[in-house]
Amino acid sequence: MFTPLPDKPDHPALELEILALWEQERTFEQLRDGNRGNAHWSFVDGPVTANKSLGVHTAWGRTLKDVFQRYKGMRGFDQRYQNGFDCQGLWIEVGVERELGLNSKPEIEEYGLEAFAARCREVVVRSSDDLTRGCKRLGQWMDWGNDYFTFSDTNIEYIWKFLEHAHEHGWLYAGHRSTEWCPRCGTSISQHELTGSYVDRADPSLYVRFPLLDRPGESIVIWTTTPWTLPANVAAAVNPGEEYGRRANGEWVAAPRYPDEQFVEQLPGNELVGWRYAGPFDDLAPGSTVEHRVIPWDDVAMDEGTGVVHIAPGCGGEDFELSRVHGLPVLTPVDEAGRFYDDYGWLHGLSTVEAAEQIIGRLEETGRLVEAGLYEHRYPECWRCHTPLIFRIADDWFISVEELRPKLIEANASVEWVPAYFEKRMEDWLRNMGDWNISRRRYYGLPLPIYPCACGHTTVIGSKAELAERAVEGMDQLEQLRRPWIDRVPIRCEQCGEPATRIPEVGDVWLDAGIVPFSTLGWENPEWITEGYATGAARGLTKADLPDHAYWEKWFPADWVTEMREQIRLWFYSQLFMSVALIGRAPFKRVLGYEKMFDEGGREMHGSWGNMISAEEAFEQMGADVMRWQYAAQPPNQDLWFGFGPAYEVKRKLLTFWNSVKFLIDYGSIEGFEPSWERLEPDVDLRPLDRWLVERTKQLVAAATEAYEATLTMDVTRAFESFVDDVSNWYIRRSRRRFYTFDEAAFRTLWFALVQSLRVVAPVMPFLADHLWRNLVQDGPQSVHLAGWPDAAEPDRSLLDEIAAVRRVVELGRQARSASQLKLRQPLRRLVVAGAPLARSHADEIADELRVKEVEFGDVGASELRVKPNLPVLGPKLGSALRDVRERMQRGEFTDLGGGRFEVDGRVLEPDEVLVERVGREGWAVASEDGVTVALDTQLDDDLLLEAKLLDRVHEVNVLRKESGLAVTDRINLWVPDEQVLERYRERLAAETLAVSVELGELRVELAAG
Ligand SMILES: [Zn+2]
Ligand SMILES: [Zn+2]
């Protein structure tokens, strides 16, 4: 027996019920057990940062992962479901600093690194717990409890192994260079971390003159937006190929920048090269030691500033490169925290922002300031703490990319990217990225195992065992491979045997995540180690094993991974880099990427803007299925606008489906319909409409299968939505009466269609699908998720095309009706259809749907053709003849040559030269689309008006029946006041209202006796 359904689903409530059932019945375990040993499909989870609870942004990716794992699960594939947490680096550190009220590195060191590490781990413990809870609520089936945590010693050892490998190949080196630097975090930031971190900002815009030493009274004028870099100025660059001019007041600027100015003298840029000038801050010690001069630089652009560029090699990447070419001194004005060193006199201790104002004031006093204003531009900030970045010279550790670059590009070409343009983005990145800066001057991260020795030799340690072997002391206190413990373990230099200490830096977090396809799958691990991943900080948080190398051979590379677009430069990149470096090939075969998420109005979501939706809130107010539907319906090449408005739309669509199921359940219960899983496909005599729905269902299965295989979920949701429309607005509409009595073919057909559609949509909305499944299928698999994938048989296209044509004609007929403003219950005489030959054998259904007496197929003589000149095209062509042609067209003096061409007064006009319109003639309503035109005869006569009156009455009586509390099957006695209607339509009125008697009188109904 079916269980009655309420009028609409309570998504959150039914989802909690289903979660409890899955738990109780061990549904996921049953699925995995059933698939174990089958062909496998390998998915590797990109780790989610364990510093927060689940948000609606993260839930997008988690949903896509779950959708495809569920799909492959239904198809019988053996899979890994290991979830991952990212646990180290600035993400975690900055959060903990905020919690503890610390705001600088000295404060962290004062707090104590051991205690700080403990606080960081607590964040991970708490957050991984929260995330797990959120993902379970979302419906994500993962191997919870066997998660990988990137801060495990095992993961760290694998990165060490990678670094040792890089060292052996000569790729690892210490570099002294200019780098983007966060003054608050006190560390360099690498190129890939700048992705998406540019914000709009207004900075000072300064024009400053540098007096020329050998040309008295003259100066060269530069432009800068970073006043704090002026004390570190050593040169001014000009473009040697451009013209420069001297103003009457002695100022030299690039002439093309000031086309309206008159110059008293003009010289090519190369003649300015070598001029010496007085630096802007020669009163400060560092500046006074420098001989400032003009240098050539081909990249000086003529689209902003003065065409003269201020060069401070200690404060800019390109400046630093120029210093190498021209042998310029490098002044580094600020320390790790972005504050001026003490040899900068009155600037000592000021931040770069604080210094700006004083610098501008000082330039004004000394007469160097030409002009000061504000400049709006895009400027990078720290991705973690949002402090504006500066450039600083630092010693960092790098992995050289030159040797690997061609192999990376080649490996990328072997990957199938969805959307396809992501491949090009990755390739562009691979072509242009610089060496990988892997060192960070921080605390809670992967310790770089690099031990430079006074003898000049650098040892790179590749494993914990190797560390133990080389350690001078401190192994006994080494709780975790992490600061501060690791810093207490000096080693013996492998070259000279003297003690060497580790560099203090920790690693870029993308090393942590990039090594995952090796570290979690047991690459080169000789023996399977139970709970071998639960080491170091991860001990007690997971039971994950460290598999052996054979396991890696089986599961590597991943068949599929998915993350958002920004991961091209982050996780997709670091994985690819490490994999190509270690074994020369890509770690994944296919990637699904997706764009960004905004609120439903297209704005970014921000806590402070009040438009942030928490996952918790979304679960309570939308339900997980509705969230998942929004994610799945989103084309991955466009930004998702997520919110409660779109959720309402989703609910409305799902309600149509719900109502179709409810319809079957309501009438199935009344009529005692008992379907059987064994006889899924209807095997009784079917009517053409039933056969159509069977084929339509096969078409849904085929379309959804194709969409899942192409990893395009929005094609699944589209296919499902159009199927639901066909079921509800065609099949059920057309067959309603067959369910009022027991018509087995109708029940069996509708049940088959609903059951199959639940199977194909189950990966997207696992809760609602299972809830309805358990009601509809009582003798089959316990859960829809255990039902396997339906056969994707090729549907009968000719039948489908026929009904598609019929539906198009009916849709156009409805449009024509609504344009004529006739009420829906008004019967009409005639419909003429042109251009839909496939619909011809369904004239009766069309007539019935549109309430017309007759449907004719043929020429739509009822419509009038209007042709006008397309003025922008025809005007220039015809010139003064246009007017005559236009008038002839207006009078209808043209010949239709077919194919959109017309002849007017001997001239042939091409399709793009005319505008064509069809309008209904008097008394006809016309609608036209995609080559199909219908014309509705809208003239009414007494017969048609009387029939409309009958139909109004039927409607009224049926409303009254409902209001009187009569059951749909109750028979009645009926009184109506319309004599004419009674005379003509007594039997029809009785039949359509289930009346056993109809008499003249005031309108009323009563339950008939017996
Ligand atoms: Zn920062
Ligand atoms: Zn040595």
HEC secondary structure over 358-400: HHHHHHHHCCCEEEEEEEEEEEEECCCCCCECEEEEEEEEEEC
Between CA 739 and CA 669 the distance in angstroms is: 11
How many secondary structure helices (H) and strands (E) does the chain include?
A: 31, 42
Is the Cβ–Cβ distance between 457 and 493 less than 8 Å? yes
In the chain, what's the furthest Cα-to-Cα distance?
Answer: 121
Between CA 693 and CA 750 the distance in angstroms is: 8
- Give just the sign of the alpha carbon dihedral 390, 395, 398, 402: positive
Distance 462 CA to ligand 2 centre (A): 18
Distance 581 CA to ligand 2 centre (A): 27
* 731 Cβ contact partners less than 8 Å away, ≥ 6 residues apart: 689, 692, 693, 696, 749, 750, 753
Distance 397 CA to ligand 1 centre (A): 19
Q: Which ligand is located closest to the Cα atom of residue 94?
A: 1
> What mean pLDDT do residues 541-551 have?
98
All residues with CB under 5 Å from ion ligand 2: 453, 455, 457, 493, 495-496
- The number of angstroms, rounded, from the C-alpha of 827 to the middle of its chain's C-alpha atoms is 50
Distance 90 CA to ligand 1 centre (A): 8
Distance 453 CA to ligand 2 centre (A): 5
* Residue 196: pLDDT over 80: no
Q: Which ligand is located closest to the Cα atom of residue 385?
A: 1
Distance 443 CA to ligand 1 centre (A): 14
Q: Which ligand is located closest to the Cα atom of residue 496?
A: 2
Between CA 665 and CA 663 the distance in angstroms is: 5
Between CA 810 and CA 821 the distance in angstroms is: 16
Distance 170 CA to ligand 2 centre (A): 18
pLDDT value at residue 1002: 93
Is the Cβ–Cβ distance between 205 and 375 less than 8 Å? yes
> Please, how many CA atoms are within 13 Å of residue 384, restricted to the half-sphere of its CB?
25
Distance 612 CA to ligand 1 centre (A): 23
State pLDDT tens for residues 894-907. Answer: 888 877 788 998 88
Between CA 950 and CA 985 the distance in angstroms is: 7
Question: Which has the closest alpha carbon to 662: 739, 588, 756?
Answer: 739
pLDDT value at residue 525: 98
Q: Which ligand is located closest to the Cα atom of residue 386?
A: 1
State pLDDT tens for residues 305-360. Answer: 999 999 999 999 899 989 988 989 999 999 999 999 999 999 999 999 999 999 99
Helices (H), ranges, 515-588 = 516-519, 549-555, 571-583
Confidence of residue 1006 (pLDDT cuts 50, 70, 90): very high
Distance 715 CA to ligand 2 centre (A): 62
Between CA 288 and CA 718 the distance in angstroms is: 71
Distance 608 CA to ligand 1 centre (A): 20
Distance 185 CA to ligand 1 centre (A): 4
Between CA 435 and CA 610 the distance in angstroms is: 40
Q: Which ligand is located closest to the Cα atom of residue 104?
A: 1
Q: Which ligand is located closest to the Cα atom of residue 490?
A: 2
Distance 91 CA to ligand 1 centre (A): 10
Q: Which ligand is located closest to the Cα atom of residue 497?
A: 2
Between CA 58 and CA 244 the distance in angstroms is: 54
pLDDT value at residue 920: 65
Question: Which has the closest alpha carbon to 94: 382, 379, 354?
Answer: 382
Distance 451 CA to ligand 2 centre (A): 9
Q: Which ligand is located closest to the Cα atom of residue 383?
A: 1
Distance 502 CA to ligand 2 centre (A): 13
Strand, coil or helix: 783: coil
Between CA 370 and CA 310 the distance in angstroms is: 14
Between CA 867 and CA 208 the distance in angstroms is: 67
Q: Amino acid letter at 783?
A: S
Distance 196 CA to ligand 1 centre (A): 15
* Residue 999: pLDDT over 80: yes
Q: Which ligand is located closest to the Cα atom of residue 390?
A: 1
- Give just the sign of the alpha carbon dihedral 998, 1002, 1004, 1009: negative
Distance 388 CA to ligand 1 centre (A): 8
The alpha-carbon radius of gyration of the chain (Å, integer) is 38
Burial string for 957-976 (b: 16+ CB within 10 Å, else e) reads bbebbeeeebeeeeebebbb
Distance 40 CA to ligand 1 centre (A): 43
State pLDDT tens for residues 723-780. Answer: 999 999 999 999 998 998 899 999 999 999 999 999 999 999 999 999 999 999 999 9
Q: Which ligand is located closest to the Cα atom of residue 491?
A: 2
* Residue 862: pLDDT over 70: no
Distance 457 CA to ligand 2 centre (A): 5
* Residue 289: pLDDT over 80: yes
Distance 131 CA to ligand 1 centre (A): 25
* 707 Cβ contact partners less than 8 Å away, ≥ 6 residues apart: 713, 714, 715, 716, 719
pTM to 2 decimals?
0.84
Q: Which ligand is located closest to the Cα atom of residue 384?
A: 1
Across-strand partners of 148?
A: 84
* Share of residues in the chain with pLDDT > 90 (%): 82
Between CA 577 and CA 430 the distance in angstroms is: 10
Between CA 51 and CA 35 the distance in angstroms is: 34
- Please name the helix (run of DSSP H) or strand (run of DSSP E) that holds residue 996, with its range, or none: strand 995-1000
Question: Which has the closest alpha carbon to 720: 694, 735, 734, 699?
Answer: 699
> What mean pLDDT do residues 174-186 have?
90
pLDDT value at residue 1010: 66
- The number of angstroms, rounded, from the C-alpha of 970 to the middle of its chain's C-alpha atoms is 54
pLDDT value at residue 623: 98
* Residue 958: pLDDT over 70: yes
Distance 573 CA to ligand 1 centre (A): 22
Distance 87 CA to ligand 1 centre (A): 18
Distance 445 CA to ligand 1 centre (A): 15
* Residue 143: pLDDT over 80: yes
Distance 228 CA to ligand 1 centre (A): 19
Distance 347 CA to ligand 1 centre (A): 23
pLDDT value at residue 607: 79
Q: Which ligand is located closest to the Cα atom of residue 388?
A: 1
More confident residue, 793 or 443: 443
Distance 384 CA to ligand 1 centre (A): 5
pLDDT value at residue 863: 63
- Please name the helix (run of DSSP H) or strand (run of DSSP E) that holds residue 295, with its range, or none: strand 292-296
Distance 466 CA to ligand 2 centre (A): 17
**In whole numbers, what is the pLDDT of the chain averaged over residues?**
94
Across-strand partners of 561?
A: 591
Distance 617 CA to ligand 1 centre (A): 30
Distance 493 CA to ligand 2 centre (A): 5
**DSSP 8-state class, residue 76:** T
* Residue 370: pLDDT over 80: yes
Distance 452 CA to ligand 2 centre (A): 8
* 591 Cβ contact partners less than 8 Å away, ≥ 6 residues apart: 415, 416, 417, 418, 422, 560, 561, 562, 572
Q: Which residue has the tokens 């350690």?
A: 471
Distance 520 CA to ligand 1 centre (A): 30
Distance 587 CA to ligand 1 centre (A): 31
Between CA 265 and CA 247 the distance in angstroms is: 8
pLDDT value at residue 803: 92
> What mean pLDDT do residues 549-553 have?
98
Q: Which ligand is located closest to the Cα atom of residue 91?
A: 1
Distance 197 CA to ligand 1 centre (A): 11
Strand, coil or helix: 92: helix
Q: Which ligand is located closest to the Cα atom of residue 183?
A: 1
Q: Which ligand is located closest to the Cα atom of residue 184?
A: 1
State pLDDT tens for residues 625-663. Answer: 999 999 999 999 999 999 999 999 999 999 999 999 999
Distance 456 CA to ligand 2 centre (A): 6
Is the Cβ–Cβ distance between 185 and 478 less than 8 Å? no
Across-strand partners of 852?
A: 828
Helices (H), ranges, 584-712 = 615-621, 624-632, 644-671, 688-709
Q: Which ligand is located closest to the Cα atom of residue 89?
A: 1
Distance 491 CA to ligand 2 centre (A): 10
Q: Which ligand is located closest to the Cα atom of residue 459?
A: 2
Distance 184 CA to ligand 1 centre (A): 5
Distance 158 CA to ligand 1 centre (A): 27
pLDDT value at residue 711: 96
